[in-house]
Amino acid sequence: MITLWVLYLVVITAASAATTVNSQTVTGSGTATTAAVEKLLKVTVSNHWSGGFQGEFCIQITQELSSWRAHLTFDQPLNTLEVWVADLAETKQGGKEFILVNKPWNSVEHIGDKLCVTFIGHGQGDIQPTATVYIEGMTAAVITRQTFGPDYTGTSKSKYEYYVSATQNCTKYNYDDILRKSILFYEAQRSGKLPGNNRIPWRGDSGLEDGSDVGLDLTGGWYDAGDHVKFGFPMAYSTAILTMGLLQWKDAYQTSRQLDHMYSCIKWPLDYFIKAHNNTNELYVQVGDGKADHNFWGRPEDMDMARPSYKIDASHPGSDVAGETCAAFAAGYLAFKDKDPKYAATLKQHATELYEFGMKYQGVYTDTITAAVGFYKSGNTTDELCWSALWMYMITNETKYLTEAEKLFQPGPAWGLSWDDTTPLNQVLLYKLTKKDIYKQAVIDTMADWMPGGSVPYTPKGLAWRSQWGSLRYSANMAMVALMAAEVGINEKKYRDWAMGQIHYALGDTGFSYVIGVGDKYPTHPHHRAASCPWPPAPCSPEEVNRPEPSTHTLYGGLVGGPGKNDEYKDVRDNYVSNEVATDYNAGFQSAVAGRLIIQ
């Protein structure tokens, strides 16, 4: 294992080769080679438009810092530079050099931390400058490779940069950075009053009147996708899946220095669900009207349409969404029980009440919440009730819950894992908790259906393609299932290899990454209102949908829907089938990345 800390730059650019300054770049197909670097690294910034450009640098800290000063120098003068996580202390060289100093809350940086700074530059015309950056008094080492031998597919690769941390072997993809960016995606989806350490500079407070129509505070939570409705069912599923990944692969978040951010990530929707479960047998499951929302193309901060609140209760049951939200609470309890016991106890109480509510008053939530029918219509309640029973058993160790889950067992092959179907993970958990062969066989049957030779077709380039709408979501979800199955001892190598192939397809094995901000080529026109809107006070209107330029803001970490059955894909903003993002798209994907990071 290589144990060098690396100073590196995340480059927002179309260029593919790594470039170092004051060091030599080493090529070859053998082992990685180190080269000394004295403070400075060359950066290429892009995502430019007339009069401006956007960039980001991430520096891995190589020595203990109680404060820091970063020198960001461009090859041409700028009129202004906007930075949000640092203060601009000084401008030199006629607008070419900018000295950035820490904010009070990020002054202390430890060895292994990553200091990431996003900036917007303004100048004359269609500027596309280059830049260098360094932190005063800090040196590092860089490991690069520009030509490689065969990878695991047997295909020769070139011009990949290897990033190395003290706890991770060389891999084709920088999983640490991918986890970081996926968490940033969830921060970009936040509704409500944003915290003082908000890391998404183009997002502000929004939806501050949510719940006022029913006399409640229903602020917070996540916006669902490229729109601004808060759909409780996929939000609860996403929270449960993300938290399950954290519980299984906590080491991945620790080694990538993202653990605190991950706790904040899942706490945001959990806090919202506490508000939404305002009475024992009552749960608010949607805020906003999908049709009205989809007729508005603008910033969430500028919404002025009515945002009605919808609930399930004893007279209008929804045991599917109650069960899913129960699972999110229960998983949250396990995540926080040592970190924050008081908060965890609150989550456990909500989980218990929702489980009993869902079991006692059974029904499909979209039978009464018709506003959700055209967006997230539920198929049945069996899988969610089984799912919630399994989580209740895991937080109580009371056999009555496991007995109920076994009654609700659905054998394989399962269609797939999604916000509306947790059957594959139910099968894995039932085997993990009982070690019964019937559940192991169900897992094997489900995975056999998804692997080559099963009923799920494959694209020419190797994606397990279950459905057109969000094709990558399903393959990424099943990659997580495969890794969870391997964790309980089922076909470990086979399932891990398959999962890696599906995740690496999404990350760029075809030459194009479907994760925004990852790799050299990725979507720049996602179907996402907030990211597409210009900086205020410029207005945002439906004209942004067809604007040919890239979105003004980079929606880091967002996994887009994905290609068609022949790997065809168009990066256009109005293609919501293939180019929208959603909170449930990233959930299984992020968890699978965490699982792959640990076993590298």
Active site residues: 527, 571, 580
Provide, for the chain, the percentages of residues in helix, strand and coil under a 3-state DSSP scheme, each rounded to the nearest 5: 40, 15, 45
Whether cis (ω within 30° of 0) applies to the bond prior to 269 is: no
Distance set, CA 324 to CA 11, 232, 328 (Å): 38, 9, 6
Token pair belonging to 158:
């070139």
Distance set, CA 131 to CA 12, 72, 144, 152, 519 (Å): 12, 7, 19, 35, 19
Element containing residue 327 per DSSP (H, E): helix 319-336
Q: Are 269 and 287 in contact (CB under 8 A)?
A: no
Distance (Å, whole) CA 427 – CA 413 = 10
Of 392, 397, 317, the residue nearest 358 (C-alpha)? 317
Q: Are 495 and 483 in contact (CB under 8 A)?
A: yes
Token pair belonging to 8:
């590196």
Token pair belonging to 135:
């932190």
Distance (Å, whole) CA 547 – CA 573 = 8
Element containing residue 41 per DSSP (H, E): strand 41-44
Token pair belonging to 38:
């004295």
What is the SS3 assignment for 430-486?
Answer: HHHHHCCHHHHHHHHHHHHHHCCCCCCCECCCCCECCCCCCHHHHHHHHHHHHHHHH
Distance set, CA 502 to CA 373, 461, 480, 499 (Å): 31, 10, 10, 5
